[in-house]
Amino acid sequence: MVTTLTLTPTATGSGLSSGSSRGSSGKLYYAGPGAGRPAICKPKRGESSVVIRCQSMKTDEPKAKMNILDSASNLLTNFLSGGKMGSMPQAEGAVSDLFGRPLFFALYDWFLEHGSVYKLAFGPKAFVVVSDPIVARHILRENGLSYDKGVLAEILEPIMGKGLIPADIDTWKQRRRVIAPGFHALYLEAMVKVFTDCSERTILKFERLFEGEETKGGRTIELDLEAEFSSLALDIIGLGVFNYDFGSVTKESPVIKAVYGTLFEAEHRSTFYIPYWKIPLARWLVPRQRKFQKDLKFINDCLDDLIRNAKETRQETDLEQLQKRDYLNVKDASLLRFLVDMRGADVDDRQLRDDLMTMLIAGHETTAAVLTWAVFLLAQHPSRMKKAQAEIDSVLGQGRITFESIKKLEYMRLIVVEALRLYPQPPLLIRRALKSDKLPGGHKGDNNGYAIPAGTDIFVSVYNLHRSPYFWDKPNEFEPERFLVKRGSQGIEGWAGFDPARSPGALYPNEIISDFAFMPFGGGPRKCVGDQFALMESTVALAMLLQKFDIELKGSPESVELVTGATIHTKNGLWCRLKKREDIQ
Ligand code: HEM
């Protein structure tokens, strides 16, 4: 079956009122009516439209045709923007740029063509795409509370409720004040033990595979490491956030299935621009929505049980005392325990459940993706893998990793951040202006800034910033050492440069040190609360893996196709060959 959409290029560029989503096979699908894979025909000479044929998986027949881009809406957008935004460069890429590959690739090409602030007409909507650190800093930090999560909040609210990510500003202020202190130093130190225990479980599983039937005691095993990292990250987030052991590294269970079903739907919704699930009865009539409602209920019941349990054993404590607990030796060091025990932070169960669900989703796949891409990059750079292993051998030997040893594993930490630079999770941050604003001119001084009307939707492209040729030497190369290069030496004129002195004591480079040229966890008031948790978790897991194994890709790097949802994934898994190390010093 083919659905044909006619997209009419206008003076403001081509537009789409659709998106793409990750199908159950992990493919990128066109997500408009009659969702299926697109085949793009560029307009013939003299034609004013671009035809997109969307094939569903079964047949090839045309189904419908409709005009979705109407130039009046673009004129309206220009009008609303008071002319000023109208002078903003507009992306006029071929519609084909948007399909068959993740959106952020097309946004990168247009960034190189149109500059670091441009407008992209997207069906009846226009998005402003920002790839400049000064403008990003303004939107995220300096004027951060004048923007909310816009489209993203609309999509995630049915799953995360009033959790921090989609929360309205008032709820966010209240909850952020309570949740952020939960990630204090002693908690993070205790979490290192959770990271090592869970990583050990994964490694034990791999070691058993060497003895298994298929390998027959052979020297290599083949595995989809992306799937393994996903299980590992799920176990860690369950224990760290609500003291629940999913045990997903070693078993399957209904709750794990429900969690994956829900994560999958969160992912689907964040890439599917037509919120069909809001249509009355869709939750009962559309099978995947029925399944989603069932999964959600299953997890919500499970979270409600955990919350009830935590409340029944509540030990009300002042914040200061809570942060001094002996986290290394308590039975339950979780964030849930902290949130329930904090004096004066009484909150209804529904809000707590939203908080936990948000952290489960925000902290799971992001970390799994960092590990996946770090391995993908290292496997293509064996000398860097050896360098990392040499560091691990000298710092840890065959011993266990601790909070203190993370400080000594400098190269490992740089590998993690370099993987985040090249594959930021998520690659785009989404905002909507709550009131009119004036963006500052970009670092190149190529504009005087643009007026932004209230309601403007913005993509801050972290991917573009992280691969900007204006800020990074050889931006597409994997070079963890680059973070050791100090201010000015990246040779960027007009940009304050890379300066560790701005964030003394930071274990990992961050947005402050780089003045927003590197911002894997966002920045400003809505910066990730779990950044240090995630960075240490990734460092520990990767170091423990490399301590024991050499890793190669099973196929060529080109065969590892990339797709995006909320995070950047592989299309068919990261299949690797693991060999027990023979060179352990
Ligand atoms: C490598 C792993 C991770 C990455 C790359 C990552 C990235 C991000 C980014 C970029 C944001 C900002 C989103 C925006 O401004 O729109 C964010 C927000 C958030 N992250 Fe993470 N994250 C990671 C791990 C975690 C973990 C482990 C947790 C919890 C345990 C977590 C909890 C959150 C929460 C609650 C927010 C919303 C903060 C707010 O709005 O106040 N994240 N994350």
DSSP letter string, 188-206: HHHHHHHHHHHHHHHHHHH
Atom of ligand 1 nearest to the CA of 163: 35
Contacts of residue 180, Cβ cutoff 8 Å, sequence gap at least 6:
529
| Residue nearest (by alpha carbon) to ligand 1 atom 15 | 522
Residue 345 near residue 339 (C-beta atoms within 8 A): yes
Quickly count: other Cβ atoms within 10 Å of residue 278's Cβ: 11
Residue 355 near residue 224 (C-beta atoms within 8 A): no
CA dihedral for 286, 288, 291, 293, sign (positive or negative):
negative
pLDDT < 70 positions in the chain:
1-86, 93-100, 122-124, 213-218, 270-274, 445-446, 486-498, 585
Residues 513, 414: Cα–Cα separation, whole Å: 14
DSSP 62: E
Mutate to test the pocket of ligand 1, among 234, 528, 531 (most ligand atoms within 8 A of CB): 528
Atom of ligand 1 nearest to the CA of 364: 27
Secondary-structure breakdown of the chain: helix, strand, coil percentages, each rounded to the nearest 5: 45, 15, 40
Residues 546, 575: Cα–Cα separation, whole Å: 16
Q: Compute the distance from residue 157 Cα to the ligand 1 centre, in Å.
A: 16
Contacts of residue 196, Cβ cutoff 8 Å, sequence gap at least 6:
400, 401, 540, 544
164 Cβ inside 6 Å of ligand 1: yes
467 Cβ inside 6 Å of ligand 1: no
Atom of ligand 1 nearest to the CA of 538: 1
Q: Is 499 exposed, middle or buried (0-12, 13-18, 19+ CB in 10 A)?
A: middle
| Residue nearest (by alpha carbon) to ligand 1 atom 37 | 165
Say which amino acid occupies 246. F
Total residue length of the chain: 585
102 Cβ inside 6 Å of ligand 1: no
18 Cβ inside 6 Å of ligand 1: no
Q: What is the pLDDT of residue 311?
A: 93
| Residue 411 to residues 199, 317, 388, 408, 543, Cα–Cα distance (Å) | 19, 39, 6, 9, 10
Question: How do beta strands 549-553 and 437-438 pair?
Answer: unpaired
Closest-CA residue to 525 (of 175, 184, 131): 175
Residues 530, 362: Cα–Cα separation, whole Å: 9
529 Cβ inside 6 Å of ligand 1: yes
Residues 347, 370: Cα–Cα separation, whole Å: 33
Residues 481, 62: Cα–Cα separation, whole Å: 53
Atom of ligand 1 nearest to the CA of 369: 1
528 Cβ inside 6 Å of ligand 1: yes
359 Cβ inside 6 Å of ligand 1: yes
369 Cβ inside 6 Å of ligand 1: no
Bridge partner residues of 36 (DSSP): 30
* Residue 564, H or E segment: strand 562-564
User: For residue 102, what are its two tokens?
Assistant: 């993740």
Q: Compute the distance from residue 521 Cα to the ligand 1 centre, in Å.
A: 6
Residue 547 near residue 575 (C-beta atoms within 8 A): no
Residues 49, 495: Cα–Cα separation, whole Å: 42
Residues 328, 189: Cα–Cα separation, whole Å: 8
Residue 413 near residue 374 (C-beta atoms within 8 A): no
Q: Compute the distance from residue 141 Cα to the ligand 1 centre, in Å.
A: 15
Q: Compute the distance from residue 568 Cα to the ligand 1 centre, in Å.
A: 15
| Residue nearest (by alpha carbon) to ligand 1 atom 17 | 528
* Residue 365, H or E segment: helix 349-379
Contacts of residue 71, Cβ cutoff 8 Å, sequence gap at least 6:
8, 10, 11, 12
Closest-CA residue to 444 (of 386, 373, 484, 493): 493
Residue 40 near residue 30 (C-beta atoms within 8 A): no
Q: What are phi and psi of 563, to 5 degrees?
A: -135, 160
Q: What is the pLDDT of residue 263?
A: 79
| Residue nearest (by alpha carbon) to ligand 1 atom 21 | 528
191 Cβ inside 6 Å of ligand 1: no
Say which amino acid occupies 216. K
Residues 194, 324: Cα–Cα separation, whole Å: 19
Number of C-alpha atoms within 13 angstroms, CB side, residue 252? 4
**Which strands sit side by side in the sheet containing 457-461, from one edge to the other?**
117-122, 125-130, 457-461, 428-433, 147-148
Residues 168, 224: Cα–Cα separation, whole Å: 39
188 Cβ inside 6 Å of ligand 1: no
465 Cβ inside 6 Å of ligand 1: no
Residues 167, 173: Cα–Cα separation, whole Å: 9
The interface predicted TM-score of the complex, written ipTM, equals: 0.99
202 Cβ inside 6 Å of ligand 1: no
Q: Compute the distance from residue 426 Cα to the ligand 1 centre, in Å.
A: 9
Closest-CA residue to 462 (of 139, 50, 47): 139
Residue 78 near residue 12 (C-beta atoms within 8 A): yes
Q: Compute the distance from residue 181 Cα to the ligand 1 centre, in Å.
A: 15
* Cα-Cα end-to-end distance for the chain: 60
pTM score: 0.84
Atom of ligand 1 nearest to the CA of 535: 1
**In 3-state terms, what secondary structure has residue 421?**
helix
| Residue nearest (by alpha carbon) to ligand 1 atom 36 | 528
**In 3-state terms, what secondary structure has residue 522?**
strand
Place of tokens 């209920």: 297
176 Cβ inside 6 Å of ligand 1: yes
| Residue nearest (by alpha carbon) to ligand 1 atom 13 | 522
534 Cβ inside 6 Å of ligand 1: yes
Q: Compute the distance from residue 120 Cα to the ligand 1 centre, in Å.
A: 26
**Residue 302 counted as an annotated binding residue:** no
**In 3-state terms, what secondary structure has residue 266?**
helix
Atom of ligand 1 nearest to the CA of 176: 41
Atom of ligand 1 nearest to the CA of 523: 15
